[in-house]
Amino acid sequence: MSDNLREQLLLLPAYFQGHLLLTLAAISMGVLISVPLGVWAEQSARVKRPLLAVVSIIQTFPSLAILALVVALLGGRIGFLPAFIALTLYSMLPIVRNTVTGLESVSASVIDAAKGIGMSPNQILREVKLPLAMPVIVAGIRTAMVWTVGLATLSTLVGATSFGNYIFTGLQTRNLVAVMVGSFASASLAVGLDGLVASMQWLLEKRSEAVDSARLKRIRLSVYGVTAIIVSLALYGLIPKPRADFVVAGKPFTEQYIMAGLLAQELEEAGFSVEQRLGMGTAVVYEAIRNGTVDVYVEYTGTVWANFMSRESNPGREGIRSGVVEFLEEQNVTTLGFTGFQNRYALAMRRDRALELGVTSIEDLIPIAAELSAGSDLEFFGRTEWFRLRDLYNMDFADKLTFDTSLMYTAVAERQVDVISAYTTDGRVAAYDLLLLDDPRNALLAYDAMILASENAAAQPKFVQVLDSLVDSISDEAMRQANRLVDVDGESISVALEYLGDEMAKN
Amino acid sequence: MALIMIELKNVQKSYDGGATLAVANTSLTIERGEFLGLIGASGCGKTTTLKMINRLEEPSSGEILVNDRNVVDQNPEQLRRNIGYVFQGIGLFPHRTVAENVAAVPRLLQWSAGDIRARCEECMEMVGLPFDEYGDRSPSQLSGGQQQRIGVARALAARPEVVLMDEPFGALDPITRSELQEEFKSIQQNMALTVVMVTHDMTEALLLADRIAVMREGVVLQIGTPKELLNNPSHDYVRDIVAMPRRRAQRLEELMRNE
Ligand SMILES: Nc1ncnc2c1ncn2[C@@H]1O[C@H](COP(=O)(O)OP(=O)(O)OP(=O)(O)O)[C@@H](O)[C@H]1O
Ligand SMILES: [Mg+2]
């Protein structure tokens, strides 16, 4: 077994448990809310249409948007709760709809007979309609369950542990083994839980058979056994674990995984216990450090300047630095220091292509841009930086294509586009021998990496002192090499950490 | 004890806000222990009349007394538990066993488990489907006729004084049908049941009923003993419908003679 696979499998218990708890909790809550709502809707036409409309609309929201909305509504709270609420909302449509359909499909003559022999409306519901609608309701629950297991992988982005940790980390660090393990685990869980519910339903239907065959008994016993194990596994996650001293967070790309690992490593070496929340969205992790659910992570000055301060100007590297630190101070976020490297956007071309066109700076592109095609990540062409660049240099490209980051590099390497919006510390810049173009008119922002700490963590002298060792310790080149080890050479994060450790020791 | 068990006073029932008149201004009395046949063409209001007696439908006007008490003064569920009902669509509970179906009303009345079991066996025996063989089956595992017999057993299970039957023997073959008719007639007589039975089959009505009510388009044209109807029909329609079995018998005889 490869080291990589072994490393991934070691994470399985924690991820499995997080995923299971999230899924079961959301589905149980979904059933508790949706079945009564469905019953209510079936009894009142006035409730039915608006209710079905609302749950359908929830379903049409992109799942990521729902997650982000719930986080925002909870005042920036991250972790289990927002993921649980979002998944519960998502599970409602199939359960409500199938409950209504199931109840409506109970034959009128049977209901008439139930009424005619003197059952009360309540008895009719409990003893006739619900049992007869049960197969349809259970089918709805099974649909919801399969969806929820799949969607739960997204909850990684709001800081809840799930198999999504495998998938997002793997996608960003080009660790296909991790992606495969995560996808396979998630799919297996979906199939397993679905099978479990199916067999429970089967047993329920067999309940009325008077004589238990030995086989039926055996099946019943194993279904109960498996259910008990699964539920206790999920519940085990509810036992409050001793809270780690500090929560280290990161966003979903390689450099962030490396930096989070570095922060965690330093703190652990100093004797602190650390919990890592990796792969979180930018807005989510920023909100979390403000409210203290995250204690430390690495952010970039340009991101704070453009995204959180909504500034459109570019006062230069120093101007941004001081403006950002001051702003963060007001937000109760402490800047422990700058790490020394800068990961900004830069326009980049294949070196041979640049040579051929005689390009070394963006100014050289002005006369020929109208014949070139450009590629960017999902964001760049929508950022004010791009608009400023376009205006300052008074040029635009013939084609502008957006790609997933790794595909963007492939596109320029394979000459499908001429220019891309590269990241300056990206290992692929060197690997594909790309030339970063100068920006003499200062259109692009500076993105100094800085260590941000929550108010609470920053108040602890030892914590500040430990992380002080990372200030001004990593050069652009060192970071680029570390990223390259993961993104290009396919090494694990720990190899990159080792490399950075050696580099830092040299200085 | 009142001599009259069921009394309809000027009962009228319309649907769709008066657009459909299902039952028009009907008055009739049914004595304790009497077997009344209710006959008439499809859609003439037979089922509606039956349903009003146990409040499955509420009359638009008029009043109905059962056992001298106005039905609207009674809790509808209590009323229905004390009146056996055999449904036109049978209406067995498909998710319950045959035995559980028969036990439905006693269970609602909270009889003891032992009493329920004993009564189930008794009623199933009565309709010719022994408990041991059929009790654990699901209704879907019975033939249409067997389901109908279980419908009758369910109606009788709680020993009601009044039984309302909506075409209870419709799906039976002629032999089983006449067996069950005789069986039921003797049960009715032994237990002095008050029965209102809807039927399309005049022969059945003539053989079983003490009196027959002939309905047409929501109106009871005539009510009387079979003899009265045969000898003194009030309308041509009554004469035609009552004479039907005899006419058919004559036709059969002619056929036999011509062979
Ligand atoms: N719920 C209802 N809404 C509207 N009209 C109804 C309703 N129930 C019955 N009717 C109408 O009332 C009339 C009498 O119906 P009813 O069911 O009593 O007929 P029936 O004599 O039992 O007929 P059949 O022999 O076919 O069972 C019919 O014209 C029927 O269409
Ligand atoms: Mg009818």
pLDDT band at A171 (very low <50, low <70, confident <90, very high): confident
Q: What is the pLDDT of residue A490?
A: 82
Residue B259 has pLDDT above 70, yes or no: no
Q: What is the pLDDT of residue A23?
A: 94
Residue B247 has pLDDT above 90, yes or no: no
Top mean pLDDT of A466-470, B172-176, B199-203 is at A466-470
CA distance linking residue A213 with residue A218, whole number of Å: 9
pLDDT band at A341 (very low <50, low <70, confident <90, very high): very high
State which of A402, A436, A470 marks the end of a domain: A436
Residue A291 has pLDDT above 90, yes or no: no
Residue A417, token pair as written in the block: 């586009």
Clarify whether residues A339 and A356 are in a common domain.
Answer: no
CA distance linking residue A7 with residue A231, whole number of Å: 27
Closest approach of B214 to chain A, Cα-based (Å): 24
Residue A196 has pLDDT above 60, yes or no: yes
Which of B15, B88, B166 has most ligand 1 atoms within 8 Å of its beta carbon, as the pocket-test mutant? B15
Clarify whether residues A231 and A351 are in a common domain.
Answer: no
Rounded to a whole number, what is the largest CA-CA distance in chain B? 62
CA distance linking residue A449 with residue A341, whole number of Å: 6
Q: What is the pLDDT of residue A12?
A: 87
Q: What is the pLDDT of residue B11?
A: 94
Residue A237 has pLDDT above 80, yes or no: no
* Domain B1-67+161-259: CATH architecture, name and number where available: 3-Layer(aba) Sandwich (3.40)
Q: pLDDT per residue over A136-169, tens digit each?
A: 999 999 999 999 999 999 998 888 889 998 988 8
Q: What is the pLDDT of residue B175?
A: 87
**How many CB atoms are closer than 10 A to CB B37?**
25
Closest approach of A117 to chain B, Cα-based (Å): 5
Clarify whether residues A497 and A425 are in a common domain.
Answer: no
* Mean pLDDT estimate for chain A: 90
Residue B139 has pLDDT above 90, yes or no: yes
**Contact (CB<8Å) A117/B81:** yes
CA distance linking residue A300 with residue A260, whole number of Å: 14
Clarify whether residues A416 and A289 are in a common domain.
Answer: no
Interface of B to A at Cβ within 8 Å reads 54, 56, 76-82, 85, 87, 89-97, 100, 104-105, 108, 136, 138, 154
Which of B11, B14, B42, B47 has most ligand 1 atoms within 8 Å of its beta carbon, as the pocket-test mutant? B47
**How many CB atoms are closer than 10 A to CB A352?**
11
For chain A, give me the number of helices (H) and strands (E)? Answer: 23, 10
Chain A residue at shortest CA distance from B54 = A116
Residue B197 has pLDDT above 80, yes or no: yes
The residue-averaged pLDDT of A483-504 equals 90
Q: What is the pLDDT of residue A1?
A: 53
Clarify whether residues A121 and A154 are in a common domain.
Answer: yes
Cα of A486 to ligand 1 centre, how many Å? 78
Clarify whether residues A27 and A131 are in a common domain.
Answer: yes
Residues with CB under 6 A from ligand 1: B 15-16, 20, 22, 42-48, 88
Per-domain boundaries in chain B: 1-67+161-259, 93-160
Q: What is the pLDDT of residue B1?
A: 55
Clarify whether residues A169 and A117 are in a common domain.
Answer: yes
Give the CATH number, domain containing residue A59.
1.10.3720.10
Q: Which of B93, B100, B154 to mutate to test the interface with A (most CBs of A within 10 A)?
A: B93
Q: Percentage of residues in chain A with pLDDT exceeding 70?
A: 98
Least confident of A7-21, A205-219, A452-466, B46-60: A205-219
Clarify whether residues A68 and A184 are in a common domain.
Answer: yes
Please list every residue in chain A whose beta carbon sits closer than 8 Å to the beta carbon of residue B80: 115-118
Clarify whether residues A198 and A56 are in a common domain.
Answer: yes
Contact A113/B at CB under 8 A: yes
**Contact (CB<8Å) B87/A109:** yes
Is A441 within a domain? no
Chain A residue at shortest CA distance from B96 = A208
pLDDT band at A256 (very low <50, low <70, confident <90, very high): very high
Residue B258 has pLDDT above 90, yes or no: no
Contact A123/B at CB under 8 A: yes
Q: Whose CA is nearest to atom 25 of ligand 1?
A: B42
Q: Percentage of residues in chain A with pLDDT exceeding 90?
A: 64
């807005």: which residue's tokens? A283
Residue B17, token pair as written in the block: 């806000």
Q: Percentage of residues in chain B with pLDDT exceeding 90?
A: 68
Q: What is the pLDDT of residue A45?
A: 87
Cα of B47 to ligand 1 centre, how many Å? 7
Q: Is 0.90 topped by the overall pTM?
A: no
Q: What is the pLDDT of residue B245?
A: 84
State which of A236, A269, A286 marks the end of a domain: A236
| Nearest-CB residue to B93 (from A110, A115, A210) | A110
Number of folded domains in chain A?
3
The number of CA neighbours under 13 Å toward the Cβ of A157 is 20
Which of B46, B49, B50, B199 has most ligand 1 atoms within 8 Å of its beta carbon, as the pocket-test mutant? B46
Q: What is the pLDDT of residue B169?
A: 87
Chain B residue at shortest CA distance from A119 = B77
Q: Whose CA is nearest to atom 5 of ligand 1?
A: B15
Q: Which residues contact A364 (CB under 8 A, 6 or more apart)?
A: A357, A358, A437
Q: What is the pLDDT of residue B180?
A: 85
Q: Which residues contact A83 (CB under 8 A, 6 or more apart)?
A: A22, A26, A67, A152, A155, A158, A160, A162
**Contact (CB<8Å) B104/A109:** no
Q: What is the pLDDT of residue A212?
A: 60
Least confident of A63-67, A495-499, B27-31, B42-46: A63-67
Task: Say what the ipTM of the complex is.
Answer: 0.89
pLDDT band at A502 (very low <50, low <70, confident <90, very high): very high
What is the residue range of A159's domain? 3-236
Q: Whose CA is nearest to atom 31 of ligand 1?
A: B43
